[in-house]
Amino acid sequence: MRNHQINLFLFILFSFFSNAQDMSKYTSGWEGKMATPEVFKLKVEIENLGSKNSRFRISNSSTIIDIPLHLGKDSIIITGFEDNYSFEGELSEDGKEVNGFIKSGILLYHINLKASKNKTYSGVWNPLMIGTLKSLNFYLSVENGKGNEYEAYPFFGDNRFTGTWCFDFQKDKDTISFADYKTGLKFIGKLLPQKIELGIYLGKSLITSIDLKKSLDDWKIGEFVTSIIDENLGILQLTELENGISKNSFPNTHSVLVSENGKIIYEKYFDGYTANVPHDMRSASKSISSAIAGIAKDQVLFTSVGQSIFDFLPKKYQKQKDRLNAKIDIKSLLTMSSGLDADDYTRERTPVASENNYQPSDDWLATVLSAPMINRPNTIAEYGSANPFLLGVALDSIVSEPLELFMDKYLFQKLEISNYIIQTDEKGKPYFGGGMYLTPRDMIKFGALYLNKGRYNNEQVISENWINSSVKKYLPLENVPDKNPYGYLWWHNTYQANKKMVSSIEARGAGGQYIFVVPDLKVVVAITSGNWRNGKTQQPEIIFEEYILPYLDD
């Protein structure tokens, strides 16, 4: 009788766990708490650089990665520390720092490692890009569960993190796993009757673990906001604007900065954002792509903007050349006038270029080149991301080092910018179509570079000739209702302030990311926002015209 009871108990227990593996039973919202607000603030070290005992380490409260480091040629340091993760960097000429990139997911995180004792270089990397977390809350939405099938999407209580793009949903008995395509973070969960034990990993290396229970209440995301953050006590007062933001008249405004004659005169952050949080610039970073092209031209890495794109492409793509697309040159890519029908558009007041025509493919370049030609190059401009994508491919073919190191050495180091991230294409190369992350202060620096004709700290970073060529008005963007004139990946617009017309040269990105350069007023304005889905992507133009310009031009 006793053995029968034991067997019955074991049968029931086995049946429970077998049934528990049906993902329909886990389809729900789950939540837990992370251990510390600095769990993703990872310390990166290179120890004993140049010796046989050189090592590369990543750690938080415990060691995550610890492997030997191998040096490449010309002081370039390269290591792969996990599958699909890597670090590459370059030792400065004075030996005091290493500037490089951690490749994780589709992002290249720039990292600056400073020298300390014993040839050890150290710095900080945060895969979430937001520094110290302002909320320890963590949420997991398990969706569409049936048998072994499911989808799972993690959310952080700190909504300054721009979110995950999860894929590769796997299940093996009581273990689920999936990965974030964007950051490269991996998630492995143990399914238990009343909870999920979830680990967050770099490859096979554990960063942190969280116990999740089913959510009973609504999630609290981004509710840490208490006040406007004033980082710079500038002389400009914009009380009316701040009142409007506080009353949600300008929703999802994250920062507003104004610089005049090289000095920041207004700097405010909202929704928990601070000066040290790099912001997703989306297509506003197309203008940075233009700057990199100018630097390459200044170094005579290519001879003319009239060169055909096929001058820069590998042999395997030459078969896609014909009489018309052979006329696609660097200038047509810079001015959005290649004539290729390679982008989709959401045709609102300002269209947002969609890369869905080529990004789902295994070979973006082949897909773009095979798109139909709807116009002769350099005749009609239509806004899209395929043009700067091709520009990036061309530039990658002519620099002697990894393109990201070239960008860092000749632009970002010159501007004293180190806290930034570059999005990559399907081959892991910098994607010139958009998606870089810069802090608003660094956006101001970049705008000031164009205001000052290519100079920064008394150094000519980009030639004045290229700056002048960049800000000319070439062709109007025909697929934009306002038909804005367009330069070398720079927008033109005109505003009215105090009964006068004011001209602006602008970098623009979806969701409301703007750099306004106003030469007549010697002003640069940076505005960042999070209006990704509500149609208010041009809200910064209203803020600029109605709430900033009147106080500058009086």
Q: Per-residue confidence at 344, pLDDT binned at 50, 70, 90?
A: low
Please tell me the total number of residues recorded for the chain in this structure.
554
Dihedral angle at the C-alpha atoms of 128, 129, 132, 136, nearest 10 degrees? -30
Structure tokens at 192: 């238990």
SS (H, E, C) 149-184: EEEEEEEECCCCCCCCCEEEEEEECCEEEEEECCCC
Does residue 466 fall inside a structural domain? yes
Pairing status of strand 352-354 against strand 344-346:
antiparallel
Same domain flag for 363 and 408: yes
Closest CA to 509 of 291, 334, 281, 290: 281
**Cα 244 from chain centroid (whole Å):** 28
- The DSSP symbol for 372 reads P
Higher pLDDT, 356 or 194: 194
pLDDT at 350: 44
How high is the pLDDT of residue 348?
A: 41
In this structure, what CATH number is given to the domain that contains residue 149?
A: 2.40.160
User: Are 444 and 475 in a shared domain?
Assistant: yes
Domain check: are 334 and 477 in the same one?
Answer: yes
The rounded mean pLDDT for the chain is 92
Domain finish residue from 157, 186, 214 = 214
Q: Which domain holds residue 111?
A: 42-125
Instruction: Quote the CA–CA distance of 275 and 27 in Å, as a whole number.
Output: 39
> Is residue 76 assigned to a domain?
yes
Q: Locate tokens 């070979």: which residue?
A: 363
CATH number for the domain spanning 420: value is: 3.40.710.10
Are residues 426 and 391 part of one domain?
yes
- 255 Cβ contact list (under 8 Å, min separation 6): 267, 268, 269, 270, 273, 279, 440, 526, 527, 528
CB atoms closer than 10 angstroms to residue 438: 26
Identify whether 5 is part of a domain: no
Given this model, what pLDDT does residue 347 score? 39
- Position 265 in a domain: no
Residue 12 lies in a domain: no
- Does the pLDDT at position 62 exceed 80? yes
Within 10 A of 361 (CB to CB), how many other CB atoms are there?
13
Q: How far apart are CA 317 and CA 498, in angstroms?
A: 54
Q: Would you state the pLDDT for residue 528?
A: 98
At 1 the pLDDT is 52
Q: Are 176 and 297 found together in one domain?
A: no
Final residue in a domain of this structure, among 192, 214, 236? 214
The pLDDT tens digits for 373-385 are 999 999 999 999 9
Question: Over the Cα atoms of the chain, what is R_g?
Answer: 25
**Close Cβ partners of 482 (under 8 Å, ≥ 6 residues apart):** 349, 350, 493
Asked if 292 and 356 sit in the same domain, the reply is yes
Q: How far is CA 281 from CA 203, 439, 479, 532, in A?
A: 28, 9, 22, 12
Model confidence at 72, pLDDT cuts 50, 70, 90, reads: confident
Residues 473, 466: contact at Cβ < 8 Å? no
Amino acid at 20: A
Cβ-contact 207, 252 below 8 angstroms: no
Containing 87, the helix (H) or strand (E) segment is strand 85-91
| Same domain as 153, residue 55 | no
pLDDT per residue as tens digits for the range 451-506? 999 999 999 999 999 999 999 999 999 999 899 999 999 999 999 988 899 999 99
- pLDDT band with cut points at 50, 70 and 90 for residue 281: very high
Give the H or E element holding residue 547. none
> Which pLDDT score is estimated for 349?
38
Q: What is the pLDDT of residues 219-239, one digit of tens each?
A: 999 876 546 777 776 889 999
Is 90 in the same domain as 199? no
- Does residue 224 sit within a domain? no
pLDDT at position 369 over 90: yes
3-state SS assignment for residue 381: strand
Is residue 110 within 8 Å of 419, Cβ to Cβ? yes
Rounded-to-5 percentages of helix, strand, coil across the chain:
25, 35, 40
Q: What is the pLDDT of residue 118?
A: 75
* pLDDT tens-digit readout, 348-368: 434 445 688 899 999 999 999
Tell me what pLDDT residue 353 has: 53
Both 116 and 81 in one domain: the answer is yes
254 domain-assigned = no
Mean per-residue pLDDT, 244-269: 96
Residue 173: count of CB within 10 angstroms of its CB: 11
Residue 457 sits in the same domain as residue 325: yes
282 pLDDT above the threshold of 50 = yes
What local confidence, expressed as pLDDT, does residue 70 receive? 78
3-state secondary structure of 18: helix
Tens of pLDDT, residue by residue over 38-50, are 999 999 999 999 8
Classify 77 as helix, strand or coil. Answer: strand
155-to-138, 139, 209, 219, 331 alpha-carbon distances in Å: 6, 5, 15, 10, 42
- Percent pLDDT > 90 in the chain is 85
pTM given for the model? 0.94
442 and 478 in a single domain? The answer is: yes
What share of the chain in percent tops pLDDT 70? 93
User: Given this model, what pLDDT does residue 346 score?
Assistant: 44
Residue 13 has pLDDT above 70, yes or no: no
Number of separate domains in the chain: 3
Query: What DSSP letter does each residue of 98-119 carry, written as one string?
Result: EEEEEEETTEEEEEEEEE-GGG
Summarised one tens digit per residue, pLDDT across range 151-167 is 999 999 999 999 999 99
Q: Which amino acid type is present at position 205?
A: S
- Please state the separation of Cα 160 from the chain's center in Å: 13
Burial class, 326, CB count within 10 angstroms (exposed 0-12 / middle 13-18 / buried 19+) = middle
* All residues at 6 or more sequence positions from 54 whose CB lies less than 8 Å from its CB, including other chains: 46, 47, 48, 68, 69, 70, 71
- In a domain, residue 7? The reply is no
353 with 440, same domain: the answer is yes
Of 214, 238, 268, the last residue of a domain is 214
